[in-house]
Chains A and B, each alone.
Chain A
Amino acid sequence: MEAMAVPFERAARPAGRRGLRWLKGIGRFAREQPLGLASALIILVILFAGVFAVWVAPYDPLATDFAKLLLPPDATHWAGTDEFGRDIFSRLVYGARTALILGICSSLLGGIAGGLLGVTSAYFGGWVDTVLQRFVDILLSLPVIILALIVAAVLGRHEIYGIDANLMFAVAIPYMPKAARVIRAAALTVRTMPYIDAARAAGFSHPRIVLGHMAPNLAAPWLVLVSAFTAQTILLEAALSYLGVGVTDPTPSWGLMLSGVAVQSFSQAPWTVIFPGLAISLTVFAFSLLGDALRDTLDPKFRH
C-alpha cells in the first residue's frame, strides 16, 4: 500500500518547478503587497545590523567612558551616550541581536509547540481534543505578561552564548495556547480533506499523517501566525526587560535601556529614552505589517 501512495504523492509536485513557484510567489507578493515588501526590507536591515553588529557598531557597546556621560547626539555619537558614557547607537545595534534572537526563537518555539498541540487536537478529536483544549483554556485565561512574568521568575536564568534560554521559554509559553487555538481551527478543515482519509486508508501511522500530511497544509496560517507573534514577542521581551525580569545587564537590550530611568533624568537627556523606544517600535511595526501582508497573500479568505 505504502509503495503505491508514495510515487503518487511525489508526482503531484515536479521537483524542478517547485523552486520556480516559490520565486514567482515572492514576486507576486512584492507586487501586490508594497507595504509587506517595505517591512521585509526593514527587517532585513535590522537583521543585518544584528548579525554583523561587530562591524556595524562604531563603538564597543559595553565600554564605559566617564568623560563622556550623557552626551547629546552628534557626529561621533549618533544617538548620544548614556549615563555610563556608553555609545547608545552601538548599544542599539547589539540590542537588535538580542531582540531578534529572543523574539524569533520564542515565537518559533511557541508556534511549533502550539501548532503541534493544535494539529494533534484536531486530528484525534474526541477526548484527546477535550483534554488538550481545557489545558489551552487554562493557559489562555491569564494575561500574557502575567504568565511570562511568573514563568520567568520560576525558571530563573540559564544563559547560553549570552542569551537567556529560560527567558525564551517564558516569552514563548504564553503564545503556545494562542497558536494551538488558531492551528486547531485550521486543522479541523484539513482533517476533512479526502487525502487525509486516503492516508488513513493506506494505513499510515498517526505521527506520519499528522506531521507529513496535515502539518504541511497548515504552513500558510502558521507562517502568518509566527510573523505576527514575532512582533509581539519582541514587545513582550522589551516589557519584561523594562520590568527587570528579562534580559540583564550588561547584555544590550532595548527594553533594558529604558528600564530604571527616572523622569527627572530623562528630561535632561531625552535621547537615552527616545532611540531605544523607536528601535522597538520600528521592529515590531515591520513584523506586524509583514504578518498582515502574508495573511492577505496566503489566506484565501482575504483575497479578492
Chain B
Amino acid sequence: MPRYLGAKLLQLVLTLAGVAALIFLLLRVLPGDVVEAKYLAEGGNVSEEVLAAERTRLGLDRPTHEQFAEWMGGLVRLELGRSMWTGRPVAEEISSRLAVTMEVAVMATVIAIVIAVPLGIASALAHGSWLDQAIRVLTVAWLSVPAFWLGMLVLLGLLLVFEWGPPIEHISLFEDPLGNLTQLIWPALVVGARMSAMIARMLRSSLLEVLNEDYIRTARSKGVRESTIVARHALGNALLPAVTVVGMEFAFLLGGLVVTEQVFNLNGIGKLLIQAVGQNDFTLIQGLVMLFAVFFVSVNFATDLLYAALDPRVRLR
C-alpha cells in the first residue's frame, strides 16, 4: 500500500506541474496582454512609455523563463501572486467568489443523487422493459439540453408563471439563509438535473454488470429474495463506480458552472474566469486553472485510494 500511495502521489504532483507549465506557456502565446486590454481597449491615447512602464511594473517585460520560474516558485510556496488587473492577491480574488460556486455545486450534487439513485436502480432492474427504454431515452435527451438554455427556460418560466425572478443582488447564506436558498436553488436544479442523468446512466450499467456476476446467481439459486439480492448483495458493489462518477462530476462541476453562473448572473469563480480571460489577467487565469486542476486531481486521488482500500487487486498490481 505505501508503495502504491507513493506512486500515485508522485503522479499527482507531476500532473499538476504539467498543468502549470501548459497553462503558463499557453497564456504567453496569447496575443496581447493585460496592459493592452486595460489601456488600449478604452480607446485612450496612452503613450508607449506608460505602457512600457506598466509592463515593467507587472514583470511582463522579463524573459518568459524568468516569469515562469518566479510563478512556479510561488506555487511551491502556495502563493498565486497578484491579479494583474486589480492588483489584489489572486487567492483573495478567488476566495471571495468561491463560496457561491461551492454552494451551488454541493446543492446540485445532492439534488443529482436524490434523482439519480432511484432512477438508475429502476432502470437496471427493469432491464430491457419499456420503463428502462424510456428512462434511457429520457436521460440521453436530458443530457442533450444545453445547461444555459435550460437555465433561461427556468428563468422564463418563473417570470411568466409566477411573475417572479430570482434576486439579482447576491444574498449571503449567513445573513438571510432563505433568501440565499431561493436565489441559488434554481441554478442548482439546472446543474443537478443534468448531473443526475449522468449518474443514473452509470449506476444502471454498473448495477447491470454486477447483477450478471456469479455470486448473484448463487444467491438467486439459494432462493434469496430479489429485493434482498439487490439491496444487500448488488448495490454495494455497483455503487463504487457511481461514486467515482459523482466525484468526477463534482470536480468538473466547478468548471461546468461557468455557463450557468453567466445565465443566473452569479458572482462565482466561473464568472471570474470569463472576466479574467476577457481582461488577459494572466495571473488570475493561472490561479483559477490551478484551482480546477488541484480539485480534479485530488478527487481522482481520493477515488484511487478508495478503490485500493476496497479492492486488494488494485494495490497489488
Closest CB-CB distance, A89 to chain B, in whole Å?
Answer: 18
A174 to B211, CA, bound (A): 34
Q: Are A146 and B140 in contact (CB under 8 A)?
A: no
Provide the A142-153 mask, 1 if CB < 8 A to any CB of B, else 0: 111110011101
A137 to B136, CA, bound (A): 30
For residue B159, CB closer than 8 A to chain A, the reply is yes
A32 to B140, CA, bound (A): 19
Provide the B36-65 mask, 1 if CB < 8 A to any CB of A, else 0: 000000000000000000000000000000
A146 to B30, CA, bound (A): 15
Q: Are A149 and B146 in contact (CB under 8 A)?
A: no
Q: Which DSSP category, helix, strand, loop or mixed, fits chain B's interface? A: helix
Q: Are B296 and A142 in contact (CB under 8 A)?
A: yes
- Interface hit among B105-113, B239-247, B253-261: B253-261
For residue A35, CB closer than 8 A to chain B, the reply is yes
Q: Are A141 and B293 in contact (CB under 8 A)?
A: yes
Closest to A39 in B: B140
Q: Are A138 and B19 in contact (CB under 8 A)?
A: yes
On chain B, the residues within 8 Å of A141 by CB distance are 15-16, 19, 292-293, 296-297, 300
On chain A, the residues within 8 Å of B219 by CB distance are none
A143 to B278, CA, bound (A): 19
Task: Find the residue from A153, A277, A288 having the highest chain B CB count within 10 A.
Answer: A153
Closest to B288 in A: A146
Q: Are A146 and B22 in contact (CB under 8 A)?
A: no
Closest CB-CB distance, B210 to chain A, in whole Å?
Answer: 15
A135 to B15, CA, bound (A): 8
Q: Are A149 and B15 in contact (CB under 8 A)?
A: no
Interface bin, chain A: 35 or more
Closest CB-CB distance, A253 to chain B, in whole Å?
Answer: 12
Closest to B254 in A: A143
Q: Are B31 and A142 in contact (CB under 8 A)?
A: no
- Interface hit among B77-85, B149-157, B169-177, B306-314: B149-157
Task: Find the residue from B15, B149, B156, B293 having the highest chain A CB count within 10 A.
Answer: B149
With contacts A141-B293, A144-B255, A273-B156 taken as known, whether A280 is within 8 angstroms of B146 at the C-beta atoms is: yes
Q: Are B155 and A285 in contact (CB under 8 A)?
A: no
With contacts A143-B254, A156-B31 taken as known, whether A263 is within 8 angstroms of B14 at the C-beta atoms is: no
Closest CB-CB distance, B286 to chain A, in whole Å?
Answer: 10
A134 to B27, CA, bound (A): 21
Closest CB-CB distance, B264 to chain A, in whole Å?
Answer: 10
Closest CB-CB distance, A115 to chain B, in whole Å?
Answer: 21
Which of A143, A258, A284 has a CB less than 8 Å from the CB of B292? A143
Within 8 A of B (CB), among A123-180: 134-135, 137-139, 141-146, 149-151, 153-154, 156
On chain B, the residues within 8 Å of A284 by CB distance are 143-146
On chain B, the residues within 8 Å of A150 by CB distance are 23, 26-27, 277, 285, 289
Task: Find the residue from B30, B146, B262 having the highest chain A CB count within 10 A.
Answer: B146
A242 to B150, CA, bound (A): 13
A6 to B155, CA, bound (A): 64
Within 8 A of A (CB), among B129-149: 136-137, 140-141, 143-149
Q: List 8 A-B contacts (CB under 8 A).
A: A142-B296, A146-B289, A149-B277, A235-B146, A243-B274, A281-B146, A284-B143, A285-B140
Binding site for A on B (CB under 8 A): 11, 14-16, 18-19, 22-23, 26-27, 29-31, 136-137, 140-141, 143-149, 152-153, 155-156, 159-160, 165, 251-252, 254-256, 258-259, 262, 273-274, 277, 285, 289, 292-293, 296-297, 300
